[in-house]
C-alpha cells in the first residue's frame, strides 16, 4: 500500500495509458489523475456520455488531449480488440500502461440461487474480455520501454466469501492470470503485470454490494490514487507479478 506516496507532478509525462471503465467510479478518478500527471489517456467504457464528460474535464484542466474508445466487454469480439489495437497503433504506435478497472458485481446471493447467465456475464466483463483485449494489445505494450499493466482485484479475489459468487471467482481468475502473464513477460524487463485491490471505496458498485453502509466511512476514489500512480509510473519498475492494496486494511 502506497497511500502516502508523493508522486512527481510530471510522473506520467509522455505516457500513453489505457483505462477501462473510465467513465465512473475508480476508473474515472484514475483517468483524471493520470492525465493530471502528464499521461495521454485512452478512455474506454460502455457509456459514451460518461466518457465524454471525463474527456471534457481533462481538457478543461489543461491535460494532454485524451482519446475515447467506446467498448462494451459484454458484446465485444476478438475483432473489436484487434481493431482497437490497430487504431491505437496508428494513433500512438505503442502503449505504456493499461489499468484494467471495468467490472460488474453481478449478484450477492447464495450460490444455489445464482443465475447461470449472470455468472457468464460477470466472467465475460471481469476477466474474459480483459484477457483477450490484453492479448491483442501485447505487441503495443512490448514497444514501450516501461509498460505497466494493472489488473483490478478485490479482497474476495484473495480469500473467497459466501454469496460473492461469480465476482469472487472472476477476481481469483484475475489474480491467476496476473501470475501467468507476469511470469511470461519477466524476461522482457520492460513490461510488468500486477494486481491491485482498491479496498472499500465510495462508488456505485460498493453501494450496490453494501446498501446499508455509511458511505462517509469509505475513502473516495481520489483518496486511493497514490497507489495507482505509484504502480502505473516508473517508481514501481521491477515489481512484476505482485499483489498490491491501494489502502491499508481497516482496523476494528
Which positions are catalytic? 167
Tell me how far, at minimum, the Cβ of 190 lies from ligand NDP, in Å: 26
How many other C-beta atoms can be found within 10 angstroms of the C-beta atom of residue 85? Answer: 18
Residue from 2, 15, 37, 46 in contact with ligand NDP (CB under 6 A) = 46
Contact positions with ligand NDP (CB under 6 A) in 108-127? 125
Residue 25 backbone zone (phi > 0: left; psi -120 to 50: alpha; other: beta): left
If one asks whether residue 203 binds ligand NDP (CB under 6 A), the answer comes out as yes
If one asks whether residue 23 binds ligand NDP (CB under 6 A), the answer comes out as yes
Q: 3-state secondary structure string, 131-179?
A: HHHHHHHHHHHHCCCCEEEEEECCHHHCCCCCCCHHHHHHHHHHHHHHH
DSSP assignment of 195-220 equals EEE--SBSSHHHHHH-TTS-GGGSBP
Which of 144, 244 has the CB closer to ligand NDP? 244
- Taking CB under 6 A as the binding criterion, the range among 40-48, 81-89, 137-145, 224-232 that sits at the site for ligand NDP is 40-48
If one asks whether residue 17 binds ligand NDP (CB under 6 A), the answer comes out as no
If one asks whether residue 104 binds ligand NDP (CB under 6 A), the answer comes out as yes
If one asks whether residue 200 binds ligand NDP (CB under 6 A), the answer comes out as yes
Contact positions with ligand NDP (CB under 6 A) in 84-103? 101-103
Among 173, 36, 164, 189, smallest CA distance to 111 is for: 164
How many other C-beta atoms can be found within 10 angstroms of the C-beta atom of residue 213? Answer: 13
- Taking CB under 6 A as the binding criterion, the range among 23-31, 33-41, 84-92, 187-195 that sits at the site for ligand NDP is 23-31
Which of 71, 147 has the CB closer to ligand NDP? 71
Q: Which residues contact 50 (CB under 8 A, 6 or more apart)?
A: 23, 24, 28
Q: How far apart are CA 164 and CA 169, in angstroms?
A: 8
If one asks whether residue 166 binds ligand NDP (CB under 6 A), the answer comes out as no
Which of 56, 74 has the CB closer to ligand NDP? 74
Amino acid at each position: 500500500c502506497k497511500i502516502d506516496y508523493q508522486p512527481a507532478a510530471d510522473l506520467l509525462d509522455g505516457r500513453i495509458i489505457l483505462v477501462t471503465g473510465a467513465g465512473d467510479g475508480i476508473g474515472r478518478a484514475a483517468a483524471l489523475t493520470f492525465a493530471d500527471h502528464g499521461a495521454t489517456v485512452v478512455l474506454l467504457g460502455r457509456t459514451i456520455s460518461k466518457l465524454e464528460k471525463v474527456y471534457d474535464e481533462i481538457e478543461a484542466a489543461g491535460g494532454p488531449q485524451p482519446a475515447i474508445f467506446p467498448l462494451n466487454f459484454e458484446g465485444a469480439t476478438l475483432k473489436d480488440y484487434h481493431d482497437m489495437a490497430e487504431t491505437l497503433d496508428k494513433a500512438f504506435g505503442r502503449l505504456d500502461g493499461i489499468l484494467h478497472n471495468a467490472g460488474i458485481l453481478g449478484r450477492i446471493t447464495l450460490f444455489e440461487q445464482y443465475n447461470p447467465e449472470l455468472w457468464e456475464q460477470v466472467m465475460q466483463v471481469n476477466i474474459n474480455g480483459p484477457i483477450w483485449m490484453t492479448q491483442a494489445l501485447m505487441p503495443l505494450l512490448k514497444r514501450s520501454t516501461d509498460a505497466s499493466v494493472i489488473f483490478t482485484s478485490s479482497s474476495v479475489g484473495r480469500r473467497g466469501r459466501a454469496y460473492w459468487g461469480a465476482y469472487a471467482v472472476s477476481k481469483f481468475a484475475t489474480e491467476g492470470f496476473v501470475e501467468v502473464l507476469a511470469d511470461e513477460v519477466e524476461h522482457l524487463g520492460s513490461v510488468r503485470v500486477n494486481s491491485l485491490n482498491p479496498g472499500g471505496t465510495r462508488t456505485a458498485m460498493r453501494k450496490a454490494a453494501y446498501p446499508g453502509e455509511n458511505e462517509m466511512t469509505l475513502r473516495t476514489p481520489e483518496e486511493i490514487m497514490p497507489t495507482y500512480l505509484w504502480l502505473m509510473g516508473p517508481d514501481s519498475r521491477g515489481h512484476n507479478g505482485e499483489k498490491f492494496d491501494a489502502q491499508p486494511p481497516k482496523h476494528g
